[in-house]
Amino acid sequence: MKISLIIPCYNEFANLQKGVLDKVGNFTKDDDRFIEVCIIDDGSTDDSKQIVRQYLKQFSKFRLIENKHQGKAYAINTGIRSATGNYVFFTDMDLATPIEETERLIKEIQNGYQIIIGSRKSKREGAPFLRKVLSFGAKVARFLFFNFKGITDTQCGFKLFEKKAAIKIINRSLLFQNNTDITGPSITAGFDFEFLFIAFKMKYKIKEIPVHWQHMETRNVNFMRDTIETFKDLFKIKYYETMGKYK
C-alpha cells in the first residue's frame, strides 16, 4: 500500500499558522504507507505558499504543486493525477477531521473497498446555524436527485480512493473539464456529488466510515454563494444524466 495524501490549499494562512502541517508531517514522516504529501495550491493570494515552502525543508515527503486559481475541485483533480501512490487520501487543510482518523478508512482497504469516505453522520459539532442549514439542504438534494445507497454524508472532506478508480472517475467528470479562471473561493459540493454518482454508475465498492469532526471557522465558506453554486451543479449533473452523457 502506497498512499499519496493530498491537501488543497487556497488562502489558508490562518490554518497554516495554527500548525496543521506540523501535525500532518509528524503523522506521516515515519509511516511507510504514506509516500508523499501533496499540497495543491489553488492560486493563493496570501502568504500560504511561502509558509508551505518552509515545510518542504522540514518534511521530505511534502510536495507543493501550484495551480492557477480554478477552485477546490480542480485542485483535488490535480492531486489525484499527480499522485504517485496507488491510493489517494484527501483531507481539508483545516483538519476538522483529525489526521489520526485516517486509520479508520485505511482498514477498509483490506475488505476490498475502492472508495472509502469519512462521515460526520448527523453530528456537526460546533457548526453555526447556517452551516447546518446548508448541510441539511445537501441531504435533501441528494435524496431528490440521487440514489447513493448506504451513504449519509457526501460532503465530509476526508476520503480515500484507489487511484486507478479515481482516475477513471474524474476522466468521466463533466462538471470540471474546462479550466477557467474564477474569483474568490470555490468549494462547490458538486465535485463530491458527481464523483460518487459516477462511482456508483461504475459499480465500485464504496464504504462510509464514521469519523470525528469538529467545525473549524473558515472564510472560504459563503452560505448564499455556495448554496447557489451547489444547486446549479446538481441540476447540471441531472441534465447530463438525462441526456445520456455519462457512459
Residue in 21, 10, 187, 14 with CA at minimum distance from that of residue 95? 21
Single pTM value for the model: 0.86
| Residues shown for the chain | 247
- The whole-chain average pLDDT of the chain stands at 86
CATH 3.90.550.10 fits 3-242, yes or no: yes
Domain ranges of the chain: 3-242
Confidence check: pLDDT of 71 > 70:
yes
Mean pLDDT on 17-22 = 96
Mean pLDDT on 37-66 = 97
Residue in 227, 176, 221 with CA at minimum distance from that of residue 11? 221
Tens digit of pLDDT for each residue in 188-245? Answer: 678 898 999 999 999 999 999 999 988 665 555 565 677 777 778 888 998 999 999 9
Residue 133: how many CA atoms within 13 Å on its side-chain side?
8
Q: What cell was used for 93?
A: 487543510
How high is the pLDDT of residue 81?
97
Mean pLDDT on 37-62 = 96
pLDDT band at 30 (very low <50, low <70, confident <90, very high): very high
